[in-house]
């Protein structure tokens, strides 16, 4: 029972937090005016991709928390979540494409660090972050391209 409750808490914090930040920092007219690279995906793709990723992030965090709540992997998980939640306000609300690029690069580093820290102890948690790493690598490229084009 306790494990089920803690999983629900992780899902609520991660998915709920992501949805809340996404709602508050929706792309606006400023974003619409930016020049974007040809590989910029359609806007509708972001919500379903992030929802799936947030579920994986929550599940990996929950597994890590159950195994070692104060360990290096859990600290990296917390760092990546803070950076993840920081990116949208920096990019969409503050209109700081340059600072958002720094945030997303640090986010990618934290994700890779989490994968490395969990690889031996919990391969499932590590694999849950692989699609996240791929998406954030793509997001980093997209952010960099928008910075160069604008």
What is the C-alpha to C-alpha distance for residues 132 and 49, in angstroms, rounded to an integer?
9
* Local structure of 70: helix, strand or coil: coil
Q: What is the pLDDT of residue 2?
A: 75
DSSP codes of every residue in 8-48: HHHHIIIIIHHHHHHHHT---HHHHHS---TTPPPGGGHHH
Q: pLDDT tens digits for 61-120?
A: 999 999 999 999 999 999 999 999 999 999 999 999 999 999 999 999 999 999 999 999
- Residue spans of the domains in the chain: they are 2-149
Cβ atoms of residues 99 and 90 within 8 Å: yes
Contact call for residues 110 and 83 (beta carbons, < 8 A): yes
Dihedrals phi, psi of 96, to nearest 5 degrees: -105, 85
Q: Rounded to the nearest 5°, which phi and psi values hold at 68?
A: -155, 80
Q: How far apart are CA 108 and CA 86, in angstroms?
A: 13
| pLDDT over threshold 90, residue 1 | no
Provide the whole-model pTM: 0.95
Q: Please check the confidence at residue 8 and state whether its pLDDT lies above 90.
A: yes
| The CATH classification of domain 2-149, taken from the options 3.40.190.10, 3.40.50.300, 1.20.1640.10, 1.20.1260.100 | 1.20.1260.100
Inform me whether the pLDDT recorded for 146 exceeds 70.
yes
pLDDT in tens, 17-51: 999 999 999 999 999 999 999 999 999 999 999 99
* DSSP sequence for 94-122: S--HHHHHHHHHHHHHHHHHHHHHHTTT-
Average pLDDT, integer, range 131-138 = 98
């Amino acid at each position: 029972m306790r494990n089920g409750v803690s999983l629900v808490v992780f899902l609520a914090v991660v998915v709920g937090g992501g949805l809340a930040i996404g709602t508050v920092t929706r792309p606006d007219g400023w974003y619409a005016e930016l020049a974007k690279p040809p590989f910029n995906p359609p806007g509708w793709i972001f919500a379903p991709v992030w929802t799936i990723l947030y579920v994986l992030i929550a599940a990996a965090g929950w597994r890590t928390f159950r195994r070692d709540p104060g360990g290096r992997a859990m600290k990296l998980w917390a760092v990546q979540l803070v950076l993840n939640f920081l990116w949208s306000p920096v990019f969409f609300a503050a209109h700081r494409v340059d600072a958002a690029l720094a945030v997303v690069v640090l986010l990618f580093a934290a994700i890779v660090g989490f994968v490395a820290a969990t690889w031996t102890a919990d391969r499932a948690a590590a694999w849950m972050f692989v699609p996240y790493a791929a998406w954030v690598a793509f997001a980093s490229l997209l952010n960099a391209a928008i910075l160069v084009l604008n």
